[in-house]
A and B are shown apart, each in its own frame.
Chain A
Amino acid sequence: MIAEPTFFDVNLAIDIVLLVMLLVVAGAIVRTRSLLTAIILFGIYSLVSAVWLVVMDAPDVAFTEAVVGAGISTIVLLGAILLTRGEAERGDWRRLIAPALVCVTVGGVLIYAATGLPALGDASSPVNAYVGRAYLEAAPNDIGVPNTVTAVLASYRGFDTFGEVVVIFAAGVGVALMLGFGPRASLAPPPQVMGDHHVVLRVAAKLLIPLIALYALYVQFHGDLGAGGGFQAGVIMAAAVILHALVFGLRETMAAVTPKVARSVASLGVLLYAGVGVVCMMNGGLFLDYDYLFPPHIEKEIPGWLLGGPESAHHWGQHFGIMLIELGVLLTVAATMVTIFYGFAGRSVDDAQREAKR
């Protein structure tokens, strides 16, 4: 056996093959003029990069990339071209010179820098030997959650995640400001008109939607142990609602999950997250310091068997804090994704024309 394992093995081969696939797909997106093709290729790009991320030992990111890139992004993009136009015009080649120069400059700087970077997989590079390793060593004792990514995401860098939830909320606010919230005068024809062609879809959807929601909950609560967490679960939950809207019509879905409810839930998620932080602060800790989530006299009363035996008793606050903030993430992400979908789907081409005339 060699003294230091190199990465020149099947992993590297898979890595390079997948990256070449990414490059080919990106090249195809550059070349294509059809927007529909570009969107489908973008979905493929996301899926391939998700696979690549698994090879790179980042299953959480892979999961997110798959649900976001190939899921939500594609839906939103399709909604957008439905409301605009499907073909991009080809410009004059002379107008490509300046962009090409900019790109070559940026690429040049990147490659210049890349030559100074440590080799792929170097365990003693500053990134892997300093803070990253410190998390792996400290997390089991500090947090007590097997998935270190979740521990860092929700606790060590919980404030970043708070910011991330706020960004999503801001996106919901932005889309609602642009496209409005609800059904307009003209919506897609009610489902009956579509006839009996869709009976298979409806039956399958009825079967699938509860399963998808259940899976979302699994992802949510499994986030401590494996890949998953509030964000992925939120997108999957939103996917259940979106599937309902696609199959049964937007009007039906909006009757069940009204835009107002979606908006409120989005705010509620952010408030829940902030609230956990404020409670920690009230109990004498710093913002989001889950060790202070329960005042000491309450913590003593909690029976040890509730969460994996007495040895994890000092992780009580961390466990509950992470659970609560992940719930906040779930609420905000799911509700915002639904709001965004409503924004695009609730706007028909007729609306667009009417708006243009006004």
Chain B
Amino acid sequence: MISFEALHAAPPALTAHAPMLLVVGPLIAACAAAFAPTSRTSWMISVTGSIFAAWMALALLGEVARHGAVDYFMGGFAPPLGIAFHIDAAGVLMALLISSAGVMASLYSGHALPAEVRAEKHTLTQAGFLLCQAGLLGMVSTGDAFNAFVFLEVSSIGTYALIAIGEKRDRRALPAAFNYLIMGTIGATFYVVGVGFLFAATGTLNMADMGARLATLGDSSVVQAGFAFIVVGLGIKAAMFPLHGWLPGAYSYAPSLIAIFLAATATKASIYLMARFVFDVFPDGAAFGQGFIAWVLAPLAGTAAIVCSIQAVFEKEIRRMLAFSSVAQVGFILLGLSLATVAGASAGLFYLAAHALMKMTLFMALGGLAISIGARRLDELAGVARDAPWSAAAFAIGAASLAGVPLTLGFLAKWRLVAAALEAGQIWIVAVLAIASLLTLLYIGRMIEAIFFRPAPAGAPRAREAPVGVLAPLWILAGLSLWFGIDASLPEQLANAAGQALIGGAP
């Protein structure tokens, strides 16, 4: 066991304001990055801002372990009048995940950005990246339903343009970004409408207060509609099947910095927000909520896990393959959460973190491989392992983890899901997991076969190994996948506490 209680990562003066600094730090860095005179400076600001956020997340980890959930009242006004940040063990897990993904992505961007984006846009790209990061951090740490919408938009608005600048390599980035903008805005607006209904029923916007008042109010058409709009709205942002149409394009054509970061975090923050509404805000006994989870959410998640894995198998473009795989894996996460038990929720959150790690590894390795040759399709990557062994090896580790090979993090994550499903007596979930894992093996196999065992086409330009600036973060991620596969006490402990916090109502 690791004792988080003893973790004093930051001086007390900073720790006291850590929930706010976690979000405001990257925001200030974003403004500074937009100001920065050169691309290099903006990169340094971006790395600094991300590291600062991760530092604050660590400080919060210690605080939450010592005192339970941390509340921070913006402007000194206690809820329901003021906006409060509310970070419990689950929130800390998400904050750590997002901020460390931010650190890795920003480290990676130092070398990758010049290859993919025009020089005059570097400073603004970094600013947009920091805004997106701050928005996601705000989404997971706020305790106010409307404030969550504001941060949802902070993270989205910059993202739309960041995906669109992938046009330099592939003009399909533009329609993909536009499509995401339309769907994302509809999702966010649905969320606002849903919050409006809950606001109409309770008169408050603070999520804890809302939950307390809903528990006494009972069921009504207004609450049901609010529930439906919130779940559908956040479902769009979380790429919940069948609302995932925007995701493959957005992930495939974005610059690799953005694809890496979004693949690791964007859908997860929305899933987490949705889980908070489903478990914390909506009354526990509400029949429509239970029925919804059992008859709509879980079946759709199961369908996603299988259907999108099949789509990934038949896909030709490698990044689209990974994107479809992401939608399938969102299904896995939701399956875990839909068990509505502590074990299920912690397995779901564990899978969420594990998936973030491995998808990041895969997208980053792919970025490393593709930097020199600009490959899009699987057959163009034939035999690159010969020329870029380090990137390819990291890719293999990420792929093994995704497929659930023993001794990797992915295996443990799947194992926990199966255990939780068995414990809850949901055998069909185990069956779905098994089928989807087999399909995963199939498409992973296709990738590995192409990269490692197929000879490069004659006369094709030789790939080059990625620079050290890319390999370093890449191998940190791959190493973590391996390390946690062997000794998972750290993520397990975090996920267990998070599951407790989400379901048990424990502090």
Contacts and interface: CB of A to CB of B under 8 A. Distances in A.
Direct contact of A and B (CB under 8 A): yes
B74 A286 contact: yes
A140 to B, nearest CB: 14
Chain A contact-residue range equals: 35 or more
A170 B128 contact: yes
A173 B221 contact: no
Contacts of B77: 142, 155-156
Interface stretch (B59-67, B145-153, B361-369, B458-466): B145-153
Given A115-B221, A129-B203, A131-B203, A287 B17 contact: yes
Interface string A267-289: 10011001001100100011111
A146 interface: no
Contacts of B225: 109-110, 112-113, 116
B408 interface: no
B76 A173 contact: no
A134 B81 contact: yes
A158 B76 CA distance: 11
A304 interface: no
Query: From DSSP, what is the main secondary structure of chain B's interface residues?
Result: helix
Interface stretch (B24-32, B86-94, B414-422, B482-490): B24-32
A130 B127 CA distance: 40
A277 B165 contact: no
Interface stretch (A47-55, A160-168, A247-255): A160-168
B501 interface: no
A152 B151 CA distance: 18
B124 A113 contact: no
Contact of B201 (A126, A169, A277, A287): A126
Contacts of B161: 173-175, 177-178
A9 B228 CA distance: 35
B80 A130 contact: yes
Contact of A126 (B34, B75, B202): B202
B119 interface: no
A184 to B, nearest CB: 13
Interface string A226-263: 00000000000000000000000000000000000001
B220 interface: yes
Nearest to B76: A289
B31 A178 contact: no
What size tier do the contact residues of chain B reach?
35 or more
Contact of B221 (A112, A158, A277, A292): A112
A126 B34 CA distance: 43
A131 B198 CA distance: 13
A138 interface: yes
A267 B226 CA distance: 36
Interface in A287-312: 287-292
Interface string A102-141: 0000000110110111100000011111111011001000
A134 B73 CA distance: 17
Contacts of A164: 150
Contact of A109 (B147, B201, B228): B228
B199 interface: yes
A176 B164 CA distance: 12
A286 B224 contact: no
A286 B31 contact: no
B283 to A, nearest CB: 15
Interface of A: 109-110, 112-113, 115-118, 125-132, 134-135, 138, 142, 155-160, 163-164, 166-167, 169-171, 173-178, 263-264, 266-267, 270-271, 274, 277-278, 281, 285-292
Given A158-B75, A176-B124, 8 more contacts: A117-B200, A130-B204, A155-B77, A160-B147, A170-B128, A174-B158, A178-B161, A286-B17
